[in-house]
Each structure stands twice: as C-alpha cells, then as structure tokens.
A and B are shown apart, each in its own frame.
Chain A
Amino acid sequence: MKAARVAYAGALHEAYPHAQGLQLADGRVLREHVVMWLPPFEVGTVIALGLNYADHAKELAKELTVSAQDEPLVFLKGPGTLIGHRGFTRRPAGAGFMHYECELAVVIGATARHVRRADAMSHVAGYTVCNDYAVRDHLENWYRPNLRVKNRDGATVLGPWFVDAADVPDPHTLLLRTLVNGQITQQGSTADLVNDIPALIEYLSSFMTLRSGDVILTGTPDGVVNVNAGDEVVCEIDGIGRLVNTLVGDAAFGR
C-alpha cells in the first residue's frame, strides 16, 4: 500500500493514490496540486549516507579529504530540514554549486539494536523518495560533517508516498532518476549501492538503536548538476514515487 500525509481544507489527512491524483481517507478525490504534501510519515532520526554509490564518490573525489571507505560515511540531519512533495526550497544566490540528490529512503518499522544482516530487512517498514539537496561549496569547511552542506532548512525533500516494504519485493533493483525542468540529468540503480540496506542496518544498529520512524537516506549515484532558483527538480524511483520540488531565491526568505 502507498499512503501520504497531506493538509487539505484546514485539516491533516491520510491519502492514497488515485487515478485522478489522490484520495483522502474520508473518500474525497483531489488533484495533486490542491493539497499540501507533508513528509509521508512521522520522521524520527534522519540518517544520511555520503558516498554510497561508487560513481558518485568518484565524482566528488577531488573535493574530499577522505578516499577509500572502510566504513559507511554517515551523518545526521535535524527536523528543520524536512519538507514534503511539491514544496519550495531556498537556493542561496551566493552558492556556486547547489545540487539535488535522488535517494532511496528506508523507513525503520521495528526497533533495531545489534541486528544481524540476515535479520535486517524485517526491521524495514517501507520506503519513500528523498531529494537530499546539497550546497557543495561547504563540503570541507568548518561546519563538518556536512552540516552546512546538508542540514539546511527545507532542503531534505521526502515523499510523496510511504510505500510498504511488502510491496517492494527487491529494493536493490530499483531504477532512479532526476529530471531538471523535464531533462534527465541523473540516472542510477539501487543495485549499485556500496553498502546495501541490510549492511547499513547491521552497521548502524551495532552502535545505535534504530526506532520506528527513523529513516536512512541511502545515498545518490553520479549525475549531480548545479540547479538554480526557478528550476523544477523531480526525483523518481520506479515503484516508489515521483517527488517534485521547486527552487526559489533568497528574496522569498527575506534574505
């Protein structure tokens, strides 16, 4: 099953896909653009992977002080970063290189601590799409790891749908792509994850407890390009969803 959380006509609703857009739990059928899309589940800790596709690591190699990865490169993000489908993200005028990152987001459904690889997938509730924007200018600055690059207000887009794990027989064969103003700029497959989902759950749960609602952003393949205010960025993962975001300039944020 796919489900979303939306605001409509003064209330929050659960909603489901419908041929004309979406259907609220109370039966109303609506077009996609008339509702406000929220992140599709109550989000706990946001765990983000850097360099989890070999081709993207190569793409970044010149800017990084780390190279060979013995362990996953992981960091956390705060709740202020999250926004839903069809939201607006600030594109700072002074940034030289801001790019999207299309990622499979893995949602934890059952408490996980010291979980072995063989048992890991039973802790997954489901999946959604993430656009994990980055301002690359700050990749190796004082505010590491990745705080200023990635922990930016409204720059972690999640949605539109939460998709039950049972409906995704193999999350490691999903094709993903990004379109900027309708042009495909990034393509990849979750088959190319350096650390696959069971490996990530085994690794993370070896030193921290994962809880229901926590989400693992599994990283992005190569093909990231600079985006600008006014651009529409669509991140798609086959079978999971098509996540739309629009970049807006500083003026809308009083900067």
Chain B
Amino acid sequence: MPQAGDLALKVSIDGIVVHVAHSAGMQRPLARLLADVTEFMTLHPGDVLMLGVAAGAPQARAGQRFAVECAGIGTLEGALVGEAPAGARSSFEATP
C-alpha cells in the first residue's frame, strides 16, 4: 500500500453511495499518529489504530445494509438490527 496516505473511502447504504471521504483530508497523517501514540503505548502486531471519520458521516437505520469500500483494501458489508425493547429482552437476543 504505497499510497496509504491518500485513500478514498466510499460508504453505501442499501446499495446507494451516500458518502465519500479521502484519507488525505486527515488533520494528522498516519505517520504522525503512529509517532505520537507509540511515544506512550507500544503497538503490537494485531493492534488496530482507527483513524477517525470525516465530516458528514451518513446515518443509517435498523433494517438497512451498509458497505464501506476502500480501493485496494476491500469492502466491509453488514446490516443494522434493532435492539429488543427492555421488556422483551432475554439472555439471548433474537435477531429478525
């Protein structure tokens, strides 16, 4: 990933692109974040540094599907489900 400092992130909800962001727009570039954070905590293989979200992040409701796509990295897909109301909760929470 030679261009990790400039990646496009595309968010879709129910198949429609609703948000596009670029990692080049970060306040602090990746190298700076790694330098800052490793001054006080050791990062090990498998640790994850999440770089934050761009302005204008879309909202999604229970029942909708989302996809977050980053060219060269992959597409992460999932669905949102509602939480059962308090009175209906059980030790295992059924999904629709």
Contact = CB atoms under 8 A, between A and B. Distances in A.
A binds B: yes
A152 B40 contact: yes
Interface residues of A, number: 14
A80 B36 contact: no
Interface of A: 78, 80-81, 92, 113-114, 135, 142-143, 147-148, 151-153
Contacts of A147: 37, 41
Nearest to A78: B41
The 6 closest A-B pairs by CB, nearest first: A152-B40, A153-B42, A114-B89, A80-B42, A153-B41, A151-B41
Contacts of B47: 78
B61 interface: no
Report the contact-size class of chain B (Cβ under 8 Å from the partner).
10 to 19
Interface in B31-62: 36-37, 40-42, 44, 47
Given A142-B36, A147-B41, 15 more contacts: A78-B47, A80-B42, A81-B41, A114-B86, A114-B89, A135-B40, A142-B28, A143-B36, A143-B37, A147-B37, A148-B40, A151-B40, A152-B40, A153-B41, A153-B42
6 contacts: A114-B86, A143-B36, A143-B37, A148-B36, A153-B40, A153-B42
Contacts of A143: 36-37
Contacts of B37: 143, 147
A252 to B, nearest CB: 15
A135 B41 CA distance: 13
A114 B36 CA distance: 37
